[in-house]
Amino acid sequence: MNDAFIYGYAVEGDNFTDRENETKRLKANFEHGINTLLISNRRIGKTSLVRHVGRMVTPQKALVVYLDIFDCRSEYDFYNKLATAVLQQTSSKIDSILQNAKNFLSRVSPKISVGPDPTSEFSLSLGITPKEYAPDQILNLAENIAKKQKKRIVICIDEFQQIGEFPDSVSVQKRLRGAWQLQQNVSYCLFGSKKHLLTNIFQNKSMPFYQFGDAIYLGVISTEKWVPFICEKFKKRGLHISEDMASKICSEVDNYSSYVQQLAWLVMLHTEHNVTPEIIDVAVNELIAQNSALFMQQTEGLSSYQMNMLRAIAAGVHDGFLSQDVLDSYRLGTKSNVSRIKKVLIDRDLVELRETGLYISDPVFNKWFRRL
Ligand SMILES: Nc1ncnc2c1ncn2[C@@H]1O[C@H](COP(=O)(O)OP(=O)(O)OP(=O)(O)O)[C@@H](O)[C@H]1O
Ligand SMILES: [Mg+2]
């Protein structure tokens, strides 16, 4: 077992823990052609989970195609990326890739350049221009390949919220959904890192992707699962951490996956033999300091009313913002101001609406903000 804690990018193998139930559900969706919408807060483990399941599904059951569209700025960028990923990841032989392109993308005339070694990566540029692009051909590429190869295909699209930023986004979404919902052999797993934007795409009745598939809300990993994971890594390094101290690491960061690993790593770096509460306190301070530049950036440009509402929430006020008492104590301005302030904070993913009111989304941001 690797004895370091990993944070900041998708994890696998020894660095991946739990998610048994979600793995089972997602794997069943992949194997049975059910579309999935995966939603969670930032850095909880969406990408890790999807990749984990993608590795578990055998090609006999389904071919899993994965693409990340964070850098796509328009519908054309998206089609280029989608077609490239589908061609590349549904076949390992360059001949059949070229054949698929020829058969199923006749109107797109893709340019494909192959490296000197035929087994090596090849680059593919579809060179679609707004004039000649053929969205229907590209959107049906996977379905056609699936039929030809008599295989099910699952297309996983990471950072899917990017679609919402495209020019004429709702028409694009309509076009995608229109084509995808007719496909018999291809299913989709759509997910991303901007919870608020994704929620708007998936849960707004007037949006094309409303109820497109099985919506999975990925929660945090339980303390029960984290504790043995943390203890094992310390043991592997010849150090000792008690179960109590391991669960304190989880509770300090509300079990947020990436922060649990980051904090555990900082604690490990300070430990000579045994973990003490004092070491955890020092590590929490470091965790806040390491993230403070990012938090400053996230609050940049907020008005004083918006900062005041964050202060109220951080101080434990979760609802009742329209009461005169709260308006006065936290200087939120007039009642009519309040809903606009809330919207800005929610749009920026700084706060989220839970059953009992508004909460700061990120537990370490919360700690940082309370210390300002
Ligand atoms: N199953 C897991 N077991 C252990 N650690 C995990 C797990 N899932 C996520 N993590 C931790 O969280 C970090 C972020 O994981 P990942 O990139 O998969 O999250 P994400 O939800 O896709 O993030 P983003 O919102 O930035 O897209 C990992 O680097 C790791 O530290
Ligand atoms: Mg991710």
Output the domain CATH number for residue 320. 1.10.10.10
Res. 134 pLDDT band, cuts 50 70 90: confident
231 CA → ligand 1 middle, Å: 19
33 CA → ligand 1 middle, Å: 25
The residue-averaged pLDDT of 298-304 equals 95
Please tell me the total count of domains within the chain.
3
169 CA → ligand 2 middle, Å: 22
Question: Is the CB of residue 361 below 6 angstroms from any atom belonging to ligand 1?
Answer: no
pLDDT in tens, 54-79: 999 999 999 999 999 999 999 988 99
Question: Is the CB of residue 161 below 6 angstroms from any atom belonging to ligand 1?
Answer: no
45 CA → ligand 2 middle, Å: 7
Q: Are both 230 and 333 inside the same structural domain?
A: no
Res. 120 pLDDT band, cuts 50 70 90: low
Percent of the chain with pLDDT over 90: 82
Identify whether the C-beta of residue 198 lies closer than 8 Å to the C-beta of residue 160. Answer: yes
43 CA → ligand 1 middle, Å: 5
pLDDT of residue 119: 56
pLDDT of residue 101: 86
Domain range for 314 is 301-371
What is the atom index within ligand 1 of the atom nearest the CA of 17? Answer: 3
pLDDT of residue 80: 86
6 CA → ligand 1 middle, Å: 9
Which helix (DSSP H) or strand (DSSP E) does residue 66 occupy? strand 63-68
Whole-angstrom distance, CA of residue 367 vs CA of residue 251: 13
Q: What is the DSSP string of 279-336?
A: HHHHHHHHHHHHHHHHHHHHHTT--HHHHHHHHHHHTT--S-TTSHHHHHHTT---HH
Question: Is the CB of residue 40 below 6 angstroms from any atom belonging to ligand 1?
Answer: yes
Average pLDDT along the chain = 92
Question: Is the CB of residue 36 below 6 angstroms from any atom belonging to ligand 1?
Answer: no
Which helix (DSSP H) or strand (DSSP E) does residue 63 occupy? strand 63-68
pLDDT in tens, 181-206: 999 999 999 999 888 889 889 989 99
The highest-confidence range among 95-99, 101-105, 137-141, 262-266, by mean pLDDT, is 262-266
> Does 336 reside within a domain?
yes
DSSP-derived 3-state class of residue 73: coil
In terms of residues, how long is the chain? 372
Continuous H helices in the chain:
20-32, 46-56, 75-89, 94-104, 135-139, 141-149, 169-180, 195-203, 223-236, 243-252, 257-270, 277-299, 304-314, 324-329, 335-347, 363-371
Question: Is the CB of residue 265 below 6 angstroms from any atom belonging to ligand 1?
Answer: no
Q: Are both 89 and 162 inside the same structural domain?
A: yes
Q: Are both 276 and 325 inside the same structural domain?
A: no
pLDDT of residue 158: 97
Q: Are both 260 and 342 inside the same structural domain?
A: no
Question: Is the CB of residue 4 below 6 angstroms from any atom belonging to ligand 1?
Answer: no
pLDDT of residue 177: 96
CA atoms within 13 A on the CB side of 53: 29
Does the pLDDT value for residue 130 go beyond 70?
Answer: no
If phi over 0 gives left and psi between -120 and 50 gives alpha, with beta otherwise, what is residue 43?
left
Q: Is 50 or 3 the better-scoring residue by pLDDT? A: 50
8 CA → ligand 2 middle, Å: 9
CA atoms within 13 A on the CB side of 280: 19
Q: Are both 274 and 193 inside the same structural domain?
A: no
What does the DSSP 8-state code read for residue 267?
Answer: H
Does the pLDDT value for residue 167 go beyond 60?
Answer: yes
Q: Are both 317 and 282 inside the same structural domain?
A: no
* Nearest CA residue ID for atom 19, ligand 1: 45
* Nearest CA residue ID for atom 9, ligand 1: 45
Question: Is the CB of residue 21 below 6 angstroms from any atom belonging to ligand 1?
Answer: no
162, 192, 217: which is the final residue of a domain?
217
What is the atom index within ligand 1 of the atom nearest the CA of 42? Answer: 25
Percent of the chain with pLDDT over 70: 93
Does the pLDDT value for residue 117 go beyond 90?
Answer: no
> Does 232 reside within a domain?
yes
Res. 128 pLDDT band, cuts 50 70 90: low
What is the atom index within ligand 1 of the atom nearest the CA of 262? Answer: 31
> Does 4 reside within a domain?
no
Looking at all shown ligands, the one closest to residue 233's CA atom is: 1
CA angle 90–49–40, rounded 5-degree value: 120
- For residue 186 the two structure tokens come to 């291809």
> Does 198 reside within a domain?
yes
Q: Are both 88 and 103 inside the same structural domain?
A: yes
Looking at all shown ligands, the one closest to residue 294's CA atom is: 1
pLDDT in tens, 314-364: 999 999 999 999 999 999 999 999 999 999 999 999 999 999 999 999 999
Which helix (DSSP H) or strand (DSSP E) does residue 189 occupy? strand 186-191
Res. 97 pLDDT band, cuts 50 70 90: confident
pLDDT in tens, 273-300: 999 999 999 999 999 999 999 999 999 9
Question: Is the CB of residue 261 below 6 angstroms from any atom belonging to ligand 1?
Answer: yes
Give the closest residue to 56 by CA, choosing from 48, 46, 68.
48
217, 242, 272: which is the final residue of a domain?
217
> Does 318 reside within a domain?
yes
Which among 2, 23, 43, 189 is the best mutation to test ligand 1's pocket, defined by most ligand atoms within 8 Å of the CB? 43
pLDDT of residue 125: 66
Question: Is the CB of residue 7 below 6 angstroms from any atom belonging to ligand 1?
Answer: yes
Q: Are both 63 and 185 inside the same structural domain?
A: yes
Q: Are both 335 and 195 inside the same structural domain?
A: no
Among 91-100, 165-174, 221-230, the minimum mean pLDDT is found in 91-100
Question: Is the CB of residue 18 below 6 angstroms from any atom belonging to ligand 1?
Answer: yes
pLDDT of residue 291: 97
Q: Are both 64 and 121 inside the same structural domain?
A: yes
> Does 346 reside within a domain?
yes
> Does 208 reside within a domain?
yes
207 C-beta neighbours (distance < 10 Å), count: 18
pLDDT in tens, 6-53: 999 999 999 999 999 999 999 999 999 999 999 999 999 999 999 999
245, 263, 297: which is the final residue of a domain?
297
